[in-house]
Amino acid sequence: DAGVIQSPRHEVTEMGQEVTLRCKPISGHNSLFWYRQTMMRGLELLIYFNNNVPIDDSGMPEDRFSAKMPNASFSTLKIQPSEPRDSAVYFCASSLGSVGLQPQHFGDGTRLSIL
């Protein structure tokens, strides 16, 4: 079975540019999560969706970050404008159900570098 698919795997761009990260969850999973991982702060939850609806976006750093899930098989995380401090590895994860009975499955991440 295909796992969570993220694209691109690597992104290098200049400060001020718009960045769009993409995620395809595992088919049939109805919960989707976006995380950010840095050396300083570790792994942090940014936002999660249940059945395509955003449930908790309290981890989104600021208004420059936005996430959408237009359908059950696709989600985007957008940063506009990007800043060097946004450099990190961004992970998408999905799970079955909405009450924490099933584990989260992670993609391989997008390594983002903002120059």
Partner 1 sequence: KQEVTQIPAALSVPEGENLVLNCSFTDSAIYNLQWFRQDPGKGLTSLLLIQSSQREQTSGRLNASLDKSSGRSTLYIAASQPGDSATYLCAVSQGAQKLVFGQGTRLTINP
- The secondary element (H helix, E strand) that includes residue 19 is strand 19-24
Interstrand relation of 110-114 and 10-13 (parallel, antiparallel or unpaired): parallel
Q: Is 41 helix (H, G, I), strand (E, B) or coil?
A: coil
Q: Of 93, 94, 112, 114, which lies in the binding site for partner 1, with binding defined by CB under 8 A? A: 93
Please report whether residue 66 would count as binding partner 1 according to CB under 8 A: no
Contacts of residue 3, Cβ cutoff 8 Å, sequence gap at least 6: 26, 105, 107
Q: Report, in Å, the least distance between residue 18 CB and partner 1.
A: 24
Which residues between 43 and 62 bind partner 1 (CB under 8 A)? 43-45, 48, 50, 55-56
Please report whether residue 95 would count as binding partner 1 according to CB under 8 A: yes
Are the C-beta atoms of 66 and 56 separated by less than 8 Å?
no
Q: Is 106 helix (H, G, I), strand (E, B) or coil?
A: strand
Q: Of 24, 25, 26, 33, which lies in the binding site for partner 1, with binding defined by CB under 8 A? A: 33
Please report whether residue 25 would count as binding partner 1 according to CB under 8 A: no
What's the half-sphere exposure (Cβ side, CA atoms, 13 Å) at 65?
A: 18
- Total binding residues toward partner 1, as defined by CB under 8 A: 26
Q: Of 75, 82, 107, 112, which lies in the binding site for partner 1, with binding defined by CB under 8 A? A: 107
Q: Name the site residues for partner 1 (rule: CB under 8 A).
A: 4, 31, 33, 42-45, 48, 50, 55-56, 91, 93, 95, 98-109
